[in-house]
């Protein structure tokens, strides 16, 4: 019995010594330093709506200057822009002005409807817009013209008092005419326009009496005729404006005025009197959205 206790004590001592030896074989790892955070590049401040784009850093030769000119400034004072519809006296009573040299007259014919009895009905229009609200839509400049009231003046058979009162007159209220202009760069690296499109939003209000009968059995639905006429106004305006803007004389007049504006602006930026004979040498130019960005050297 005494021998057994001694053996047990020896065995426990060996196990305890072995545990200490095994624990010392794998010492604890030294603490690892925390990984350094990756540097976060500084973000430029957000651009406020309506502000011109920030000019890129000039990569040109020493003394070069970079300037941003919004296309709205290039077009000119928007309060002088308008669209006027009219063809009571002449089809060329319809005219418009979009800005610097972009103006002209459009042939908008009256509407003619022939009834079953061979007699004709005529519709004329009149209406003038307010100055446009100018905004940027991607790469297009949007001019929103609102015409408070377009009047559709109707006549039956002739322009006498009887013909004037034979049919109901109609109106379209708060008609929106959107003109979208896309700018581009010309061969001199100066700003100009590339294309134009138009959208007309509105509707003709129905008259109290739409259908009038003549010679007992021949109807004239003047409401339907006015709606058909209203649908013809958009393509007439768009085609007329586009045709005028594509004329060499219109483009030349616009680009001459733009050259004088840009030259004066860039020389003023360089601290040079625009009335001096100094010139500018354009190193690079492009449109960012509807902002004209130009890098140049002033040449006194």
Query: Residue 73 — very low, low, confident or very high, per pLDDT cuts 50/70/90?
Result: very high
For residue 283, the SS3 value is strand
Tokens 């009231």 belong to residue: 149
Helix, coil or strand: residue 50? coil
Q: How confident is the model at residue 46 (pLDDT cuts 50, 70, 90)?
A: very low
**Sign of the CA dihedral with 57 first, then 59, 60, and 63 last:** positive
For residue 179, being part of any structural domain is answered with: yes
* Across 5-14, 56-65, 243-252, least confident range: 5-14
For the chain, the domain total comes to 1
Task: Tokens for 224, please give them.
Answer: 């339907």
- Residue that has been written with the tokens 């581009």 in this structure: 184
In a domain, 40, yes or no: no
Beta-carbon contacts of 40 under 8 Å, excluding residues fewer than 6 positions away, are none
Q: What are phi and psi of 17, to 5 degrees?
A: -65, -40
pLDDT value for 100:
92
Q: Is residue 267 part of a domain?
A: no
Q: Which range marks the domain in which residue 84 is found?
A: 77-247
Calculate Rg over the CA atoms of the chain. Answer: 39
* In a domain? residue 26: no
Position 59 scores a pLDDT of 57
Residue 279 lies in a domain: no
pLDDT digits (tens, 9 = 90+) for 107-140: 999 999 999 999 999 999 999 999 999 999 999 9
8-state DSSP, 204:
B
Chain segment 171-187, per-residue pLDDT in tens: 999 999 999 999 999 99
Contacts of 93 (CB under 8 A, 6+ apart): 84, 86, 87, 105, 108
Model confidence pLDDT, tens digit, residues 82-99: 999 999 999 999 999 999
Q: What is the spatial distance between Cα 125 and Cα 150, in angstroms, rounded to a whole number?
A: 7
Q: Which residues contact 148 (CB under 8 A, 6 or more apart)?
A: 127, 130, 173, 174
Query: CA-to-CA distance for 175 and 106, rounded, in angstroms?
Result: 18
Packing angle between helix 222-246 and helix 248-269, nearest 10 degrees? Answer: 60
Residue 5 lies inside a defined structural domain of this protein: no
Residue pLDDT, tens place only, 256-268? 999 999 999 999 9
- Give first-to-last CA distance, the chain, whole Å: 120
Q: Which residue has the tokens 């928007």?
A: 78
The average confidence (pLDDT) of the chain is 85
176 domain residue, yes or no: yes
Helix (H) or strand (E) holding 213: strand 211-214
**Helix, strand, or coil (residue 276):** coil
Taking the C-alpha atoms of residue 237 and residue 95, their distance in angstroms, rounded to an integer, is 9
Which one has a higher pLDDT value, 178 or 61?
Answer: 178
- Does the structure show a pLDDT above 80 at 12? no
In a domain, 226, yes or no: yes
């Amino acid at each position: 019995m005494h021998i057994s206790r001694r053996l047990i004590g020896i065995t426990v001592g060996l196990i305890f010594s072995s545990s200490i030896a095994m624990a010392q074989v794998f010492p604890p790892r030294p603490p690892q330093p925390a990984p350094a955070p990756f540097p976060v590049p500084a973000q430029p401040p957000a651009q406020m709506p309506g502000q011109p784009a920030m000019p890129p850093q000039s990569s040109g030769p020493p003394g070069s200057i970079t300037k941003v000119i919004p296309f709205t400034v290039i077009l000119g004072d928007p309060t002088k822009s308008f669209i006027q519809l009219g063809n009571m006296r002449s089809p060329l009573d319809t005219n418009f002005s979009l800005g610097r040299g972009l103006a002209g007259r459009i042939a908008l014919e009256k509407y003619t409807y022939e009834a079953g009895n061979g007699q004709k009905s005529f519709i004329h229009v009149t209406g003038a817009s307010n100055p446009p609200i100018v905004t940027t839509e991607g790469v297009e400049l949007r001019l929103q013209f609102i015409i408070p009231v377009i009047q559709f003046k109707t006549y039956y058979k002739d322009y006498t008092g009887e013909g004037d009162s034979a049919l109901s007159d109609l109106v379209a209220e708060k008609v929106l005419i959107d003109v979208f202009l896309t700018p581009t760069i010309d061969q001199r690296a100066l700003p100009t326009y590339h294309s134009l499109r138009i959208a007309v939003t509105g509707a003709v209000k129905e008259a109290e009496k739409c259908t009038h009968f003549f010679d007992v059995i021949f109807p004239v639905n003047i409401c339907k005729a006015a709606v058909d006429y209203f649908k013809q106004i958009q393509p007439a305006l768009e085609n007329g404006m586009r045709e005028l803007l594509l004329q060499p004389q219109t483009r030349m007049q616009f680009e001459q005025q733009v050259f004088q504006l840009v030259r004066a602006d860039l020389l003023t930026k360089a601290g040079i009197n625009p009335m001096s004979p100094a010139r500018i040498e354009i190193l690079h130019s492009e449109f960012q959205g509807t902002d004209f960005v130009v890098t140049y050297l002033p040449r006194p």
